[in-house]
Amino acid sequence: LLVEACDAGKAVACDGAGDLFSQGRGGPVNGAEARRLLLRGCTLGSALSCSQAGYLIGNPNTGAVDLAQSRSLYQRGCDLGNAEACGNLAMMHYRGEGGPRDYVAAIRYATLGCPIDSGNACHVLGMTAREGLGRAIDLAFARVSFERACTLTIAASCAQSGVMQAT
């Protein structure tokens, strides 16, 4: 029923159906069908579908990897307000995945994602502030950003926060 509803233009059904196929809930994992459904949902304006499709298209366990397309899908998901899409997009800009490394863009998308609970976004803000990448060094802001990311379960930020508190 979810697949039929997605194919009929119901974006929220695409979210659910894509998740079922990507996780193998109710049947075998089918990465290709999950991608198709989530791309459809993204086209229909679902921020969650865009974010999930970006993840699947950037993950070698679900089919061919296309980091540029993954980055583009995260961009659309972020534009539509999905926190994880903003955080993952920020991380891709920070690392130079799927396009050029761009610390200023990483900060822009992290600034959108961190306040709406993306741990990755808060982590990127901490890293750029600590190292002065795309901005001036701001150790106080870095520490606060790492602490926020830590509360959002980003283990690397917990470690960074601990290191910064010890110095």
Between helix 139-151 and helix 119-131 the angle, nearest 10°, is: 160
What would the pLDDT profile of 5-15 be if each residue is shown by its tens digit?
999 999 999 99
What would the pLDDT profile of 46-101 be if each residue is shown by its tens digit?
999 999 999 999 998 888 899 999 999 999 999 999 999 999 999 999 999 999 99
Alpha-carbon distances, residue 151 vs 87, 103, 115 (angstroms): 15, 24, 13
**DSSP character string of 64-103:** ---HHHHHHHHHHHHHTT-HHHHHHHHHHHHHT-SS---H
Alpha-carbon distances, residue 119 vs 7, 37, 110 (angstroms): 33, 26, 9
Residue 41 pLDDT exceeds 80: yes
- Entry pTM: 0.92
What percentage of the chain carries pLDDT values higher than 90?
86
Helices (H), the chain: 2-7, 11-23, 31-43, 47-57, 67-79, 83-95, 103-113, 119-131, 139-151, 155-166
